[in-house]
């Protein structure tokens, strides 16, 4: 059981890169590599040993998400990034709103 954190670290060390960049796809001489922002987490458990009647334990799970932010597109030997504007707006608008709220609260606190 003490090897579990080491095994998880080894297993997950390369997941970020492979989850962020998709497999290249070639269509009519154009190569497309999808790009996403990914995040994941997982849980753990614990137990208190005892007899059959007094043993206790608990645990939790995890999950993740992925937001497609665009793609690297190679045409005629030139590579450029083309953003997925819908996904960027869906992620950016809440981020800007929360940042604005926090900034106004900081300014109000500093005025006091």
Q: What is the mean pLDDT of the chain?
A: 82
- pLDDT of residue 93 exceeding 70, the answer is yes
pLDDT for res 72: 93
In a domain? residue 65 = yes
Supply 19's token pair: 């989850």
In a domain, 9, yes or no: yes
Higher pLDDT, 87 or 32: 32
Report pLDDT for 80. 95
pLDDT-based confidence at 13, cuts 50/70/90?
low
Distance CA 86, CA 75 (A): 23
Is 22 within a domain?
Answer: yes
24: domain range? 4-83
Q: Is residue 103 part of a domain?
A: no
Residue 111 lies in a domain: no
The pTM of the full predicted model, rounded to 2 decimals, is: 0.53
Tell me, yes or no, whether 97 lies in a domain: no
Domain membership flag for residue 38 = yes
Domain total of the chain: 1
Q: Measure the CA–CA gap between 58 and 99, rounded to whole angstroms.
A: 36
């Amino acid at each position: 059981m003490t090897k579990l954190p080491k095994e998880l670290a080894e297993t997950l060390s390369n997941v970020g890169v492979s989850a962020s960049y998709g497999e290249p796809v070639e269509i009519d001489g154009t190569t497309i590599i999808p790009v996403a922002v990914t995040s994941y987490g997982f849980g753990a458990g614990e137990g208190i040993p005892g007899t059959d009647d007094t043993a206790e334990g608990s645990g939790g799970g995890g999950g993740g998400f992925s937001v497609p932010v665009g793609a690297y597109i190679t045409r005629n030997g030139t590579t450029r990034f083309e953003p997925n504007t819908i996904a960027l707006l869906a992620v950016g608008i809440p981020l800007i709103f929360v940042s604005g709220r926090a900034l106004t609260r900081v300014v109000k606190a500093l005025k006091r």
